[in-house]
Structures are given as C-alpha cells and as structure tokens.
Amino acid sequence: MHHRLKKDAPSGTATTLAEILASVRKQQLNKVIRHGRGGIVGERTPSEIGMHSLRGGDVVGDHTVIFATNGERIELTHKASSRETFANGALRAAQWVVKQKPGLYDMQDVLGLK
C-alpha cells in the first residue's frame, strides 16, 4: 500500500518481491502473476502469485508477503513511516557509488548483498 497520489502500480518494491518469489519457485513471473481478483475467476492455482496494489491516505509504503496454506499463514511485513528512510538510503548509495568504477549497480551492491 502507498499514498493516494502514487501513480504507478504495483510499486517497484512489490514487483521486486514478486520477482524474488518467482525466481525461488523457478517460475517466470509474467506467466504466474495475478493482479487482483474480480468476479468468478475460479480457484487460485498452485503456481499463481497474487499481487494487490492499494492506494490511500498518506501511507509512505507498506509491503506484506503472505505465505498461506490450509489452517495457517506466515506474513512478512515492512512498513515505512517516513520518506526520510528512503532519503537516507539514497544518500548512502551516493556516498558508495562515487568510490566505484563506472558501471551498473543496484542497492544490493551498495548493501554488500551480492
């Protein structure tokens, strides 16, 4: 979920989370993604990855990944309550990238996760 003025859906973070899930499941995201549900669309298939984008109020950014099965579910949620969080990340990335050779980098590089 994001604020009501956000123009794109799903967000980049939501898309990245779905890409990671599809990759771990050895799937191509564009073949298994289901954006929202409406009407009589049938049962959810075992390979389907559902995604819903909500917009409202002044929400900076809430993302929840839900792993559900019969009788239980696990929910992993990240809630950003201030845009300052993202500004700090951008500053950290800028300080890191000026020390690098020319190239294409992402936040995983900045955070040392690769």
Tally the C-alpha atoms within 13 A of residue 36's C-alpha that lie toward its C-beta. 6
Spatial separation of the C-alpha atoms in residues 25 and 19, rounded to whole Å = 10
Q: Tell me if residue 31 is catalytic.
A: no
- Distances from the Cα of 59 to the Cα of 1, 9, 52, 73, angstroms: 7, 14, 15, 25
| Tokens 């990240």, residue located | 78
**Catalytic residue (one of 3, 6, 7, 99):** 6
Number of Cβ within a 10 Å radius of residue 78: 11
**Catalytic residue (one of 2, 3, 99, 114):** 2
Q: Tell me if residue 101 is catalytic.
A: no
Which of the residues are catalytic? 2, 6
